[in-house]
Amino acid sequence: MKYYVSISTFLSLALVITASTVLAGQGPETIDLKATYKVEGKKSAVIFSHHAHQENLECSKCHKSSAGGGPLVVEIVKLTTTKNDFHKKFCWPCHVEMKVPKGKSCKTCHPK
């Protein structure tokens, strides 16, 4: 009896581990958003930590599809000045909502 209990505990643990490994780490690990969106300007490129963001967030927080990838939940059109759509519609609102430490500080995202 004991033997069966530990086997099934082991199996369900293995399942949980496999499921979370499959969910995290999809798509590129990091994404150079300046290059991807051909942003012009003097601010240093934002290298978005894609996999790190997947650890605590569902794909559907950012992608229209719940499976992730493809279009984002917001349309990114304006790419100049500090009123660009990444700041105003995407990165900043979520950082404020989720109380990310220094989530709106320039150096959090732009190294320079």
CA dist list (Å): 106 to 19, 46, 67, 102: 35, 10, 31, 9
112 interacts with ligand HEC by CB under 6 A: no
In the region spanning residues 33 to 72, those forming contacts with ligand HEC, defined by CB under 6 A, are: 33-34, 36-37, 39, 41-43, 45-46, 48-50, 52-57, 59, 61-63, 68-70, 72
By CB under 6 A, name the one of 10, 105, 111, 112 that touches ligand HEC. Answer: 105
100 interacts with ligand HEC by CB under 6 A: yes
Closest approach, Cβ 20 to ligand HEC, in A, equals 11
Helices (H), the chain: 2-23, 33-36, 50-54, 85, 92-97, 106-109
Q: How far apart are CA 77 and CA 84, in angstroms?
A: 8
83 interacts with ligand HEC by CB under 6 A: no
Which of 9/60 has CB closer to ligand HEC?
Answer: 60
110 interacts with ligand HEC by CB under 6 A: yes
Q: Using only the alpha carbons of the chain, give its radius of gyration.
A: 19
